[in-house]
Amino acid sequence: MKKLLSLPLLLLLAFSPASAQTTAKPDVSKKVVEYCKKNLNKQVDRGECWDLARFALDYAEADWKSPYNFGTKINHVTDPLKPGDILQFENVSLSWVDGDNTYSMTLPHHTAIVYEVKKDGKIVIAHQNFNNVRKVTTFDISMADIKTGSVQAYRPKAKS
């Protein structure tokens, strides 16, 4: 014979702290991208590249530490980048060919957010304070086009 629980006991179990802990937290990376979308063509704080990452991580309630510990370090060569990842470029030069034209750009010390990952392997970064523009813009790059310098990638993580 099965024993039925009373309604008050069922309500107590349904709203106990244990059930609240199992509620999924919003995906931090999605919130970082959401912040970028909300701020496209707007200046975030002082317009520095770092400001976008800082405010996006705070908006997403991510666990991070100033100045450049933006989450869990990942190896972007072996672990594919995902939207919401934070990139720290140091003395990077890129060069690529598009049709008959060769292009290049440098990122001596720059922070950006992976906004989108395309099927062809290129990524769209969201950033500001690039090319004298202090508003949030996007730009397509391929990590394979990096000729010199280093890029450190971070995957945002939720506060514990």
The pLDDT tens digits for 122-160 are: 999 999 999 999 999 999 999 999 999 999 999 999 988
Q: Which domain holds residue 86?
A: 28-155
Q: Look at the chain and report how many structural domains it folds into.
A: 1
Domain-embedded: residue 122: yes
Residue type, 111: T
Mean pLDDT of 20-46: 85
Residue 108 domain-assigned (yes or no): yes
Facing residues of 150 across strands? Answer: 90
Look at residue 20 and tell me if it is in a domain: no
Q: What DSSP line would sit under 1-36, residue for residue?
A: -PPPPPHHHHHHHHTSHHHHHTSPPPPHHHHHHHHH
Does residue 135 lie within any of the structural domains? yes
**First and final C-alpha spacing in the chain:** 43
Q: What's the pLDDT at 67?
A: 83
Position 42 scores a pLDDT of 98
How do 86-98 and 146-155 pair as beta strands? antiparallel
Are 20 and 94 within 8 A, CB to CB? Answer: no
Which among 88, 83, 61 has a CA at the least distance from the CA of 152? 88
Residue 97 lies in a domain: yes
CATH number at residue 79: 3.90.1720
Distance CA 41, CA 36 (A): 10
Q: Is the pLDDT of residue 7 over 80?
A: no
Sign of the CA dihedral with 87 first, then 93, 96, and 100 last: positive
Residue pLDDT, tens place only, 63-116 = 999 888 999 999 998 999 999 999 999 999 999 998 999 999 999 999 999 999
Query: Is 2 inside any structural domain?
Result: no
The pLDDT, as a whole number, for residue 160 is 82
User: What is the model's pLDDT at position 11?
Assistant: 42
Could you say which DSSP state residue 18 is in?
H
Element holding 101 (H helix, E strand): strand 101-117
- Smallest CA-to-CA distance from 73 within 150, 160, 148 is with 150
What's the confidence (pLDDT) of residue 18? 44
23 found inside a domain: no
